Structure 1
Amino acid sequence: MSTTQRFVLWIAILGSFVAFLDGTIVNVALPAISDELGGGLRTQQWVVDAYLITLGALILVAGSVSDAYGRVLVLRIGLIGFGVASLAIAAAPTAEFLIVARAVQGAAGAFLVPSSLALITSNFSGGAQGRAIGIWTAMTTSAMIVGPLIGGLLVDLASWRLAFLINVFPIGATLVLLARGGFRDTRQPDASIDWLGAALCTLGLGGMVYALIEQPHLGWSSPAIWVPLLLGAVLFALFILRQRRVRSPILPLDLFRVRNFSAGNIATTFIYGALALNGMVVVVYLQEGAGLSATLAGLASLPTTILLILFSSRVGTLSGRWGPRLFMTVGPITMGAGALLLLTVSTDFSYWWQVLPSMVVLGAGLALTVAPLTSAILGSIGPERSGIASAVNNAVARVAGLIAIALLATIVGGALDLDGFHRAAIVTAALMIAGGITSFLGIRNPETAADTPPA
């Protein structure tokens, strides 16, 4: 890498690190949040999904803004907004205030990851791009170690509120690098942003998610369920129709005519829906069902994270050389097998024999999947549209997680007891395997993949 490329890579890593860090902290803190502010499983679902609703909808706008007005500007806006929202979350007096602050944080987070990945794809190519994405994956995923460790300790020894304040440090470091780097954005003078489309997307997703979360408590016959569900579906359908006609769509449907982009995003739906479901269920059950502390529950997935960090860069390089199809097929199916190992969890709980094997197998599959998946999707689209391509893929991943969490009460049968935990493991495995099959049938290796020299 050149000096500029290294600088770009570190900015991309730190910018995305914030969003990844917050995600791991939230899962660890959920039981403590519901204990203090009330609401049980419903509050836990809304704390996660309020963030994902605005993130999933506005990440598309952020991608368009990134391409139109510059990656650095968008990244700076996201960092500042994320920091302010984190302070509000730490000071939240009620569950309702916390949920609103999480929605604001999701809106700010929408500006982080797409701009970070777009910086990489516009400054790297070929095998070097695969390796850079692998390094980005490994380094940002280190948040999965730092988050549960620091967040769990703060939850156990002080307060869950303090856990959200650690976002300030990577935000500050990234803003300093952006200020000292002297980067200049390339802007399109005739750019326009489809804010109406963004509103339709946000309200549509919000209505449907509200119905899915509240349905187990009110029932499908309640107008408070079927009205927002129907209205949300109509608004989201209008959003899709609008994207076919508006001059500057935030969701360019023509991207999906590219085979690897469309197949990769279908696989993303299955894989990241499963990851969101598994991530929340395991951490919450280990605290509420198995009786572990927040720190130990957060560190339960440490083997998965370590394997991802150790091997993502190498797998990214191999994917750039051999093509992503094999990795995207074997990786999710391996993760599905790891999820099924959680069926060994019983009332006579043992982390070492019942959870650890699953975490190891999940980690191996995740390391095989993440970098090739990202490379396959972004590599199929030209660098001039890398911002919106990254945003669409991230939106798909977040909306998949949004729906999975919204369906949590239905999946586990209303309570996250041992039987519910087993049901969630089966659904996770089914989604992972579906992602692997989709990749095998839909992904095609680029013709030049075998000829690209390793970075």
Structure 2
Amino acid sequence: MSSPALSAPQHDVRRRPEAQRWWALGVIALAQLMVVLDATIVSIALPSAQRDLGLTDGSRQWVVTAYTLAFGGLLLLGGRIADLVGRKRAFIVGLVGFAAASALGGAATGPAMLFAARALQGCFAALLAPTALSLLATTFTDGRERAKAFGIFGALAGAGGGIGLLLGGVLTQYLDWRWCLYVNVAIAAAAVTGAVAFLEDRAGHRAVRFDVPGVVLGSGGLVTVVYAVSRADSDGWGSGPVVGLLAAGVVLLAVFTWWQSRATSPLLPLRIIASRAHGAPMLTLSLAMVGLFGVFLFLTYYLQNILGYSALKGGFAFLPMSACIVLTSTQVSARLLPHVAPRLLIAPGLAIAAIGMFTFTSLGTDSGYATHVLPGALLLGFGMGLVFMPVMATATSGVGPADAGITAAAVNTAQQVGGSLGTALLNTIATTSTGHYVASRLSARDGRLTAARHHAIADAGVVHGFTTAFWCAGVITLVGALTAALLVNAPSPRHRAAAVGTAA
């Protein structure tokens, strides 16, 4: 029997006073925002950091890759640690560690120090992200409160990337790129103070045991796949190293799956992802992130490299999309989910988001923001605002206390892997399309083109690559809508309550 979208997870934490629960939500949301925005805030600062530290074009990707590699590869381990030692304790450790790693990165004197700091950030983010989601799931048990809480949390998960671009632009332009890392120290300090005052949780579950082979196989497989995807950007999907790494990662994950079905205390109980109640929302979330991460990437380049926006102006350009995600999550999804089945929000939301992505395919080298960019951004924001909250609430519902952390880790893994795979896949599609476009236009010329004409063809080729990627992102998002419509089968809380009353 499937779990309802907003059914409370099974737990034994005593019910807290209402005011304390909402203060706890503020603390959890602040930590989640820090983790999400850190994936994009550094991207805006990267050109300045490259000049300051002498990064090469070949090595600069590691400022981003070191973070995503550690984050995506260690999420399952982080979730299990939270179940073992207690979510509140793991949450505070994650915050302190993330702040320390951020301070180290801000003080970096060379590339190696910055790369190491970003990897450390990823390690502590892998502990912090699933802990935050599992704390949310065990803090809010009432249906309506749970809907509102997940609405706020989902809004930040969806809008965090855009907020990171805006904040990164402000800090880089008016202070220094290093403040894109130092700002985490202040955020973490506030969150730690709030965690000590408002969060409550068990000390941990003694029944939880570390599955050492599972840690090695699962984390090793995820790290290998994420690393292969990061190499695909520069080496190409068909290169020997990328194919070899992908094959190795798939083999490790296959062995990991086999081992999880036989381990006494598995790292990831297969029942969590095998059930439609939890596995289907995770798959849907992964597909949604493919398109969303692609939009953030290509719109950023389009605004700055084609339309000539500054980092600050480019960040502000994402503000309407982020605001739309926040408003839709908190004012629409949170109000409707207690009364309707989750798929009735998720599937239409992804369909609307896909329409927004298809709108971007009309972009040209001289398109206006208000006429060509803003309509698609608003559609995308509204659609994604309908998606994040019900997906996360459904995927984490009805989970026992010993598995709350690992379930939240699986949700975050789906989100991270989807974003990483989507970024690499769509970037490869865009680059290939650009190359074919430019080659076909130049091959037909007699070699007497002016420099200005060459530049115009190059820009048109870049935009053609972006629009091709937007088409692909839209199609993948539509596949996510179909997945949600067919596989996400959790009923609304109202229907479940009626069924329980009838049975009684």
TM-score by length of 2: 0.82
Distance in 1, matches of 2:199 and 2:319, equals 37
Label 1:162 to 1:410 Cα distance change in 2 as closer, same or farther (>3 A): same
Deviation at residue 120 of structure 1 after TM alignment: 1.9
Change (3 A) 1:165 1:305: same
1:436 aligned residue: 481
Match among 359, 384, 403 for residue 385 of structure 1: 403
Structure 2 residue aligned with 1:178: 195
**1:159-213 deviation line (CA, Å, top 9, x unaligned):** 3222121111220011112223473533222422234433333332333344444
SS of residue in 1 equivalent to 2:490 = coil
Secondary structure in structure 2 of the residue aligned to 1:63:
helix
The answer for the alignment partner of 1:276 in structure 2 is 293
Task: Give 2:411's aligned amino acid.
Answer: N
Q: Give CA-to-partner distance per residue, 1:126-176, whole Å, 9 cap, x none.
A: 232122111233356665565333310222234322212111122001111
Which residue does 2:169 correspond to in 1?
A: 152
Deviations 1:11-69 (A, max 9, x none): 211221211231231332344445554444x6565433332222122211122222222
The answer to whether 1:357 aligns with 2:372 is no
In 2, the alpha carbon distance for the partners of 1:283 and 1:327 equals: 28
Aligned partners of 1:52 and 1:399 also within 8 Å: no
How far apart are the structure 2 equivalents of 1:9 and 1:434?
32
**Counterparts of 1:232 and 1:75, CA distance in 2:** 29
SS in 2 for 1:59: helix
Flag the 1:246–1:451 CA change in 2: closer, same or farther, 3 A.
Answer: closer
The count of residues paired between Structure 1 and Structure 2 equals 452
Compared with structure 1, are the counterparts of its residues 2 and 28 closer, same or farther at alpha carbon in structure 2 (3 Å cutoff)? Answer: same
CA contact (8 A) 1:57 1:198 kept: no
Aligned pairs for 1:161-240 (under 5 A) are: 161-181=178-198, 183-215=200-232, 217-218=234-235, 223-240=240-257
Alignment of 1:25-174 (within 5 A): 25-34=41-50, 37-40=54-57, 43=59, 45-125=61-141, 126-138=143-155, 143=160, 146-174=163-191
- Tell me the CA shift for residue 293 of structure 1: 0.5
Letter in 2 for 1:12: I
Q: Does 1:426 align with 2:466?
A: no
**How has the CA–CA distance of structure 1 residues 218 and 446 changed in structure 2, closer, same or farther, with 3 Å as cutoff?**
closer
TM-score (norm 1): 0.90
- Give per-residue Cα distances to partners, 1:326-369, cap 9 Å, x unaligned: 10110011111101111121111321112111111011101111
Instruction: Return 5+ residue gaps in structure 2 as ranges.
Output: 1-16, 435-460, 499-504
Q: Give the equivalent residue in structure 1 for 2:366.
A: 348
The answer to whether the 8 A contact 2:233-2:424 is kept is: no
Distance 1:284 1:33 in 2: 18
> CA, structure 1 residues 380+94, in 2 after alignment: closer, same or farther (shift >3 Å)?
same
When Rg is computed on C-alpha atoms for both structures, the one with the higher figure is: 2
Task: Kindly indicate whether the alpha-carbon contact (under 8 Å) linking 1:76 and 1:175 is maintained by their aligned counterparts in 2.
Answer: yes
**Contact 1:28–1:297 at 8 Å: present in 2 too?**
no
Q: Distance in 2 between matches of 1:95 and 1:157?
A: 23
Change (3 A) 1:44 1:424: farther
CA distance in 1, matches of 2:208, 2:493: 34
Tell me if structure 2 keeps the 8 A contact 1:45–1:406. Answer: no
**Post-superposition offset of 1:219:** 5.8
**Cα offsets for 1:98-126 (capped at 9, x unmatched):** 33322221111112222122122112222
Letter in 1 for 2:375: P
Matching residue of 2:385 = 367
- How much has 1:299 moved relative to structure 2? 1.8
Q: Deviations over 1:217-261 (max 9, x none)?
A: 546776544433333332232222222222222221111232121
Letter aligned with residue 113 of structure 1: A
Residues 31 and 287, structure 1, Cα contact 8 Å, conserved in 2: no
1:66–1:157: structure 2 CA closer, same or farther, 3 Å change rule?
Answer: same
Matched residues, percent identical?
A: 30
* Change beyond 3 A, Cα 1:358–1:184: closer
Shift of 1:73: 0.9
Which ranges in structure 1 are unaligned for 5 or more consecutive residues? none
Partner of 1:244: 261
CA distance in structure 1 between the partners assigned to 2:235 and 2:37 by the alignment: 34
1:317, CA displacement in angstroms? 3.0
Q: Distance in 1 between matches of 2:237 and 2:167?
A: 41
- Report the residue type matching 2:177 in the other structure: W
The alpha-carbon distance between structure 1 residues 411 and 132, as it changes in their structure 2 partners (threshold 3 A), is same
Map of 2:445 onto structure 1: none
* Aligned equivalents of 1:208, 1:138: Cα separation in 2: 28
CA–CA distance in structure 2, aligned partners of residues 371 and 219 of structure 1: 35
Give the distance between the partners of 2:207 and 2:495, measured in 1 at CA: 40
Q: Which residue is 2:22 aligned to?
A: 6
What displacement does 1:71 show?
Answer: 0.8
Q: Which residue of structure 1 lines up, in the alignment, with residue 11 of structure 2?
A: none
2:354 corresponds to: 336
Indicate the residue corresponding to 1:412 in structure 2.
Answer: 430
- Compute the displacement of 1:371 (Å): 0.7
Contact 1:281 1:421 in 2 (8 A): yes
Q: Equivalent residue for 1:395?
A: 413
